[in-house]
Chains A and B, each alone.
Chain A
């Protein structure tokens, strides 16, 4: 069995920080830089009071990202306030997803986690009003051709990304967490009904803990792009650690996964989080989730694929199969969101038709 990369070993077990050699730190920071996990690593070590144990040079190097994490936190807060102001006429609280949710709720998963877009979830019936309100306050649709516009509005679970004209920040407005074309349909009404307010922040809410975990699992295992794979897996690990301590969380998780038709992603989430990051999951939960997993042949294939694709995207972590693994998972990811017939048309269009139109201009 192959040894886990040094970064993964460190994320699994941050106490190792006290005993790494300079050469090991050199490699660990190269891996964390290429995976954009340095701010997270800084936060993790600081949380555990381990920064003083890091030798001077790697410590100084790690400190380079502190300013970025601080600035990012400030920018997210301000952006969320601006979105709230734009959507003040909406009755429901502003429901944040993913990074913005972790950041504003002060979750451990949010510490040091940098991201590019703010994601929100709104009722499908309010999409037009939300889009109009955002446009009134300075957000504009990004340059997409008519095909892209239709693709998004007809088949996707979100509006085309909007960008604020002055601040250049992006917002993704979702009405569901998976596209209409996906083989499963986690009911957005159920997600919204279970949403929890953020303490100390009137008008802001996040998904319930189980739903946050399931959403993160779906995003990781149904999407195709793994440049953020390890980061997303780490989100899951941190959330499971934090929520795992709350009464009722583990009991509710398997049932909720079934209810939302997200048993398979939960199976993978728990499996790979345990394997790579050593997440502690109660046996009863593993037993309850086992039947939701794939048969043995597929499971072995997925182990091979995900086992590679979830590692840091750095040459030190690649083997001969890593690039292929990522490609196969990319195609699989798109297939899960769109059936094969539509996928071929979509990929064909994206590759050829869009470009030609650009040349015409």
Chain B
């Protein structure tokens, strides 16, 4: 299967501005349209490893990043994210086009792919066992995820834990890892050959950049993983590293609180989450030093 890297920059831009670029990211195929340089840059830098599909393939999402009509095409140019003609968001400054693509794709999955129980969480895997890191923004989940996948763990996703109801396994969608503000520098230091998109400042989340997903993770994007640990991370400057078990009922509700579609999934959602809680050891995790955090994760024992 050809990858995005097989295209020259010219060919990439040509596809993006005409029929669209068809790219597979784990369980989903997206057709991306955009005439904007920022989008071509981001894809060129971060999407080389992903399988490329040709023009008449089936796509799950048809997304576009384009200028709105009228004045904002020229004066302080803006970009719209559209999902097959639907505009779910307000326009953003053109400079934010690539992060908007990433947020937009996450939105597409989390609002539509109801074949899965979807939790707002990072998912990483080692030795056949997956750790799920649910967390509201600001908990340091993404920094932790970026570090883990560069210290022996496979990336399934930095934002979307997708549980398959039939058998309870996690389905990967290994896309670039989103980092903000200080985390960008922390990871630049921590990961030797880290590849980043161009940082974009003044977004609603501050300065944002995306880290390239490890090639090995992308190569294994079709491999599901069995959940073993649910870890609620919290970064606290200067804090001692601690891993504290949580009662299962409490873990159940805290994960449900972080779900995109727990309620939509009805009884099936309940059974899927209950099975996950049954099969996992759940913890609160506090950390400040990444090396210590890596050690704790390395020492995690598979439950039972």
Chain A interface residues (CB < 8 Å from chain B): 21-23, 25-26, 30, 33-34, 55, 57-58, 60-61, 63-68, 70-71, 74, 314-315
Contact = CB atoms under 8 A, between A and B. Distances in A.
B98 to A, nearest CB: 24
Contacts of A22: 56-58
B29 A71 contact: no
Contacts of B112: 64
B113 interface: yes
Contact of A67 (B29, B84, B114): B114
B264 A63 contact: no
Contacts of A63: 115
Given A21-B56, A71-B266, A64 B113 contact: yes
B266 A66 contact: no
B114 A64 contact: yes
Contacts of A314: 84-85
B114 A26 contact: no
Contacts of B62: 30
Contacts, number: 54
A34 to B, nearest CB: 6
A26 B84 contact: no
A6 to B, nearest CB: 13
30 contacts: A21-B56, A22-B56, A22-B57, A23-B58, A25-B58, A30-B84, A34-B84, A55-B58, A57-B29, A57-B58, A57-B60, A58-B58, A60-B115, A63-B115, A64-B113, A64-B115, A66-B114, A66-B115, A67-B115, A67-B261, A67-B264, A67-B266, A67-B268, A68-B114, A71-B263, A71-B264, A71-B266, A74-B266, A314-B84, A314-B85
Contact of B114 (A21, A65, A74): A65
Contact of A26 (B58, B85, B266): B58
B264 A61 contact: no
Given A34-B86, A64-B113, A70 B266 contact: yes
Interface in B275-298: none
A277 B37 CA distance: 45
B115 A26 contact: no
Given A22-B58, A26-B57, 17 more contacts: A21-B56, A26-B58, A30-B84, A33-B84, A34-B86, A57-B29, A61-B58, A64-B112, A67-B115, A67-B264, A67-B265, A67-B268, A68-B114, A68-B264, A70-B268, A71-B265, A71-B266
Interface residues of B, number: 21
A137 B62 CA distance: 44
Interface in B94-143: 112-115
- Most chain A beta-carbon contacts within 10 A, residue among B58, B114, B261, B266: B58
Nearest to A60: B115
Nearest to A30: B84
B115 A23 contact: no
Contacts of A70: 266, 268
> Which 10 pairs, one residue from A and one from B, show the smallest C-beta to C-beta distance?
A23-B56, A57-B58, A67-B114, A22-B58, A71-B266, A26-B58, A64-B115, A63-B115, A64-B114, A67-B265
B59 interface: yes
B106 to A, nearest CB: 16
A221 B62 CA distance: 32
Nearest to B85: A315
A359 B77 CA distance: 30
Interface in B52-68: 56-60, 62
B245 to A, nearest CB: 32
Nearest to A61: B60
Contacts of B269: 67
A188 B60 CA distance: 46
Interface in B27-57: 29, 56-57
A33 B113 CA distance: 12
A130 B120 CA distance: 43
Contacts of A58: 58
A33 B112 CA distance: 10
B85 A34 contact: yes
- Most chain A beta-carbon contacts within 10 A, residue among B60, B113, B261, B269: B60
Nearest to B109: A64
Nearest to B113: A64
Nearest to A75: B266
Contacts of A315: 85
- Most chain B beta-carbon contacts within 10 A, residue among A23, A58, A67, A74: A67
Nearest to B117: A67
B264 A26 contact: no
Nearest to B263: A71
A26 B268 CA distance: 28
Contacts of B115: 60, 63-64, 66-67
Nearest to A71: B266
Contacts of B114: 64-68
Contacts of A68: 114, 264
A82 to B, nearest CB: 17
B85 to A, nearest CB: 5
A60 B116 CA distance: 11
Interface in B223-240: none
Nearest to A33: B84
A64 to B, nearest CB: 5
A230 to B, nearest CB: 16
Interface string B73-88: 0000000000011100
A30 B60 CA distance: 9
B141 to A, nearest CB: 26
Nearest to A58: B58
B63 to A, nearest CB: 12
A34 B59 CA distance: 15
A26 B265 contact: no
Contacts of A34: 84-86
